[in-house]
Structure 1
């Protein structure tokens, strides 16, 4: 028996491919690392939804379509306003997305529905975040692309180019990652011939769990404690010698360097000198990899995407509460691509279970 369905092939997909032993991540036949460093968010989303790179006209149409869905309808603002103050952001996104599921989302799922959800989720996050902070709502800026507008709506200020670039790279790298728990949840829901909004709501509920979409607060705390490049080696050696884990190193899928971490490292190097926090992260990652190889030879412990996600989020002044929601704002592209793919060749998911309880005596 394969607990948790580990190792069981549940579907065929043309959306992405992962080779954990070689450290490869592929989006629609393209190296995801190159996509992250060379594409915009809109271009990468188009690739995942349509299976090909967009031309300039197609890219412009997609950018306009995403912009057209940024504005929150009044009824959705009212719903968000009435939610409990202590409901976390993932709960708010889940509730808001489910409330979007009107008749236009009925079977079968479409790319237009995917674009609508992708366009509005950053606005949901920004509206709720500013509301809780007693700050005024910031309307979308039609002159900005998807990622830049997200930062703008969160802060009310024009974001720095280095911050836009770093966050865009991160969000492209988290668009899609195979048959993970939330993607499987979305595919199971749509396999019943439910609707796109319900399938994405299922995925958000799954992402909310700390075993899947947990915030990299441990990495942030580690970098906060290290404080400077001069303190790094002594701090790291003490942690390793005390048998403590270095947060943000090692991955249960990738047995070599996480390609997403590689791309984020390259982006951090590109903007290094523009942000001291990213400079510190680069130094710590290089030093930690060296020390882990020294103290734990053969373990192949490298920085994972969580390490650089923490560095990027801290550099752009996002607190930990925004990590999983931001992850969600990008992963909705992958979820929706899988929902559409599942619907095109649909078979309802209906696995068996093994009964281990008591049986009565039958006559």
Structure 2
């Protein structure tokens, strides 16, 4: 009897992890035993990083030491900055640029030659990668737009420092809190495609930078991380049309278009991260005195649920949240990577601790008895 084929490895268990748990029927997400609601509303991104990498929430002294150490790693080498400038001049796609930038960081890492399974070296490399990605991304965006890069500050949080480097302006408390929450919500999500790519790479005993570079390349696809950008572009189309949002969506569906930001391979109910971000999107709109992006989103959500039985995923409300924060649309997916790097690193650390080469098989369905003909006789 032939073995069962599971396309996309759907339903196939390939690893055990203590990092995150998802209940797709209940709409529940847990990081190391803690509800995403509690973490999003009560913990900083730095606290969540510590939790993912070390297994417990830090006390105040542990957090201060961890955050301070990571903050000192934010600077990037001048040679890396020159390569970023070259990417900006070439008008490279942001995710492709980020992939190249992370790979380049390897050449300037003090632990680059360490054994790939050296946990302490990987924790140091992980801190540097996580600390430097915001600096590299902000520099790329600014140089692409014709502005000088802004040096990182060690006295700001991870979230506030990125917004400061991006906009040359220290964010207010509301923006910092909102962006920090978004980072927490995106930090990990089980064995998704990009995380699995990182595990496959690390299972060969490739180094941490290689694994994260693989993950970034995987995240760049619209079926994984790129939908947030597509959602915002859709909302802008709605805004520029003379139609009500529900009418616009109905016409788009009848025209064969796919509405981005809906459906998930795991969740059968509304993504809990979308629920939390929808609240922040509404709050940002109310603070700015213009809730149209939130209102468009709610109308579209209700219509798609009624007509198609689909519910929004995290990309759907992260789009309007980021847009109202003044973040360029084509950097939404790199920001996803900026956050998810923490989860990728945590999973790679787990993989190294009990490594086995990931080597699935494919069922051969091609010919087997073809006769070979010499070149001159073909």
- Common fold by TM > 0.5: yes
Which residue is equivalent to 2:363? 354
Q: Per-residue displacement from partner, 1:97-141 (whole Å, max 9, x unpaired)?
A: 112224613312422211110000000101111111111121112
Report the Cα distance in structure 1 between the residues aligned to 2:200 and 2:304, rounded to whole angstroms: 40
Report the Cα distance in structure 1 between the residues aligned to 2:351 and 2:37, rounded to whole angstroms: 26
Is the partner of 1:273 in helix, strand or coil? helix
Q: 2:42 aligns with which of 38, 43, 53?
A: 38
1:276 offset after TM fit, Å? 4.0
Contact 2:227/2:261 (8 A) holds in 1: no
Contact 1:169/1:267 (8 A) holds in 2: no
1:193 offset after TM fit, Å? 1.4
Correspondences of 1:1-12 after superposition (within 5 Å): 1-12=5-16
Q: 2:111 aligns with which of 81, 95, 104?
A: 104
Which residue is equivalent to 2:78? 74
Is the partner of 2:61 in helix, strand or coil? helix
Which residue is equivalent to 2:274? 261
Q: Per-residue displacement from partner, 1:157-216 (whole Å, max 9, x unpaired)?
A: 122322222221111111111111111111111111121111111111111222222142
1:342 offset after TM fit, Å? 0.4
Q: 1:129 aligns with which of 131, 141, 149?
A: 141
Q: 1:240 aligns with which of 250, 263, 286?
A: 250
| Residue 85, structure 1, aligned to residue 90, structure 2 | yes
Which residue is equivalent to 2:61? 57
Is the partner of 1:25 in helix, strand or coil? strand
Is the partner of 2:52 in helix, strand or coil? helix
Contact 1:250/1:300 (8 A) holds in 2: no
Contact 1:37/1:267 (8 A) holds in 2: no
1:269–1:243 distance in 2 versus 1, CA, 3 Å = closer
Is the partner of 1:211 in helix, strand or coil? coil
Q: 1:48 aligns with which of 49, 52, 72?
A: 52
Correspondences of 1:1-363 after superposition (within 5 Å): 1-83=5-87, 85-102=90-107, 104-105=111-112, 106=114, 107-108=116-117, 109=119, 110-227=122-239, 234-237=244-247, 239-240=249-250, 243-244=253-254, 246-271=259-284, 273-276=286-289, 279-292=291-304, 295-296=306-307, 299-360=308-369
Report the Cα distance in structure 2 between the residues aligned to 1:174 and 1:35, rounded to whole angstroms: 12
Q: Per-residue displacement from partner, 1:63-103 (whole Å, max 9, x unpaired)?
A: 11221111111121122233361321222221221122246
Report the Cα distance in structure 2 between the residues aligned to 1:48 and 1:347, rounded to whole angstroms: 21
1:201–1:290 distance in 2 versus 1, CA, 3 Å = closer
1:22 offset after TM fit, Å? 1.2
Moved more, 139-148 or 282-291: 282-291
1:248–1:3 distance in 2 versus 1, CA, 3 Å = closer
Contact 1:256/1:300 (8 A) holds in 2: no
- TM-score, length basis structure 2: 0.87
Report the Cα distance in structure 2 between the residues aligned to 1:203 and 1:197, rounded to whole angstroms: 10
1:219 offset after TM fit, Å? 2.4
Contact 1:185/1:203 (8 A) holds in 2: yes
1:12–1:275 distance in 2 versus 1, CA, 3 Å = same
1:307–1:186 distance in 2 versus 1, CA, 3 Å = same
Higher relative contact order (CA 8 A, sep 6+): 1
Report the Cα distance in structure 2 between the residues aligned to 1:288 and 1:207, rounded to whole angstroms: 25
1:318–1:359 distance in 2 versus 1, CA, 3 Å = same
- TM-score, length basis structure 1: 0.90
Q: Per-residue displacement from partner, 1:311-353 (whole Å, max 9, x unpaired)?
A: 1111011122101110110000000000000000111111112
1:225 offset after TM fit, Å? 4.5
Is the partner of 2:224 in helix, strand or coil? helix
Unaligned runs of 5+ in 1: none
Which residue is equivalent to 2:375? none
Which residue is equivalent to 2:376? none
